[in-house]
Amino acid sequence: MSVPYADLKAQYLSIKEEIDTAIQDCIDNTAFIGGGVIKEFEDDFAKYAGAKYCVGCANGTDAIEIALKALGVGPGDEVLVPAITWISTAGAVNNIGAEPVFVDILEDERTIDPSLIEAKITDKTKAIIPVHLYGLPARMNGIMEIANRHGLKVIEDCAQAHGAEIAGKKIGSFGHIATYSFYPGKNLGAYGDAGGITTDDSDLAKTCKMITNHGQIVKHDHQIIGRNSRLDTIQAAILKAKLPYLPEWTEKRRTNAAKYMNKLAGVKVPVVPEGYKHVFHVFAIQSDRRDEIKKALDAANIGNAVHYPNPLPMVPSYAYKGHQTGEFPVAEKVCKEILSIPMFAEMTLEQIEMVATEIDEV
């Protein structure tokens, strides 16, 4: 028996009729760009995420770029980002002409370390992008306190954390604006690329909407410089059909995580602070024998991955910054020890046990 890292097919089969109907309706109506289903999904998702507005866009990377632009961040500005995250969080900052500035992470939680933020603030700093990595909320209360004291904007990168909460409050509702990815493997995934932006600020929402569609709300009335980053209609229809199942899928992920935590004795398992709701986009174990464990899982045909092999300050595209080994000690250690093991809602107890046994044997 092998265990996949994720099983998108199992999820599809569980709601096949609804997905097929949603797609067929778009084709029957030849509604490929725009259409009512986009607004319906945006409204449904805003409600789910505890926000007043949601603006769909083409992917989660664009969502960050558009949010930064809407907030007025641009050339000459600096934006603080965690040293471990998917490349988009930092790349989006470069792509609007601003400069990402890396901050080391908390070892247990792997999110940006609030106690290290202030030392990185300069008179060019305009914003902070906390990432709710793996599905665990970043320390938003501490981050907002610092941001407010320094007049900084906060963009929450929620790409891995749909539905995560701190003390019953949904992530994405702490900062000024939040961005989501609906990449197929994310906790809410489309059948291609898709993304979204949420905020309670109606002006910001309107600006984001205009940026995603050539700077216009009304056709040919280009108010600002925009681009094409529209949410695809078929993807919106699929996401709308899937969203009602997200709470149930999230609870299953959390139940599977609890089972893993009971069974895994010899490795470090995710640490969840009191009152924090982790949604386990990724279940990451940590061990100084990571490479041996990885080898054993590969040999047993058990899906696994390293998120991420290198802190972003050390990847070739950021070599221009001249960072040296030892500057981000926590991120550097975590990257050497971290391993993501299979995690999806439809996992069986047998699959969880097989993974845990394989790891315990090492």
Ligand X SMILES: *Cc1c(COP(=O)(O)O)cnc(C)c1O
Q: Residue 61, interface with ligand X (CB under 6 A)?
A: yes
User: Minimal CA–CA distance to 84: which of 341, 338, 362, 357?
Assistant: 338
Q: Count residues binding ligand X (CB under 6 A).
A: 15
d(CA 24, CA 22): 6
Binding string, residues 15-54; x marks residues near ligand X by CB under 6 A = ----------------------------------------
DSSP letter for 244, please.
G
245, 189 contact by CB (below 8 A): no
Q: Residue 159, interface with ligand X (CB under 6 A)?
A: yes
C-beta of 307: minimal distance to ligand X in Å? Answer: 8
Q: Residue 131, interface with ligand X (CB under 6 A)?
A: yes
Binding string, residues 176-205; x marks residues near ligand X by CB under 6 A = -----x-x---------x-x----------
- Per-residue CA distances from 68 to 55, 76, 83, 129 (Å): 14, 13, 19, 10
User: Backbone dihedral region of 274: left (phi > 0), alpha (psi from -120 to 50 degrees) or beta?
Assistant: beta
Question: Which of 11, 54, 59, 284 touches ligand X by CB under 6 A?
Answer: 59
Question: Which of 11, 85, 198, 304 touches ligand X by CB under 6 A?
Answer: 85
User: Minimal CA–CA distance to 18: which of 272, 224, 191, 220?
Assistant: 191
d(CA 241, CA 259): 29
Q: Residue 256, interface with ligand X (CB under 6 A)?
A: no
Of 71 and 264, nearer to ligand X (C-beta) is 71
Of 164 and 356, nearer to ligand X (C-beta) is 164
The gap between the terminal CA atoms of the chain, to the nearest Å, is 18
Q: Residue 103, interface with ligand X (CB under 6 A)?
A: no
Residues that bind ligand X (CB under 6 A): 59-61, 85-86, 88-89, 131, 157, 159-160, 181, 183, 193, 195
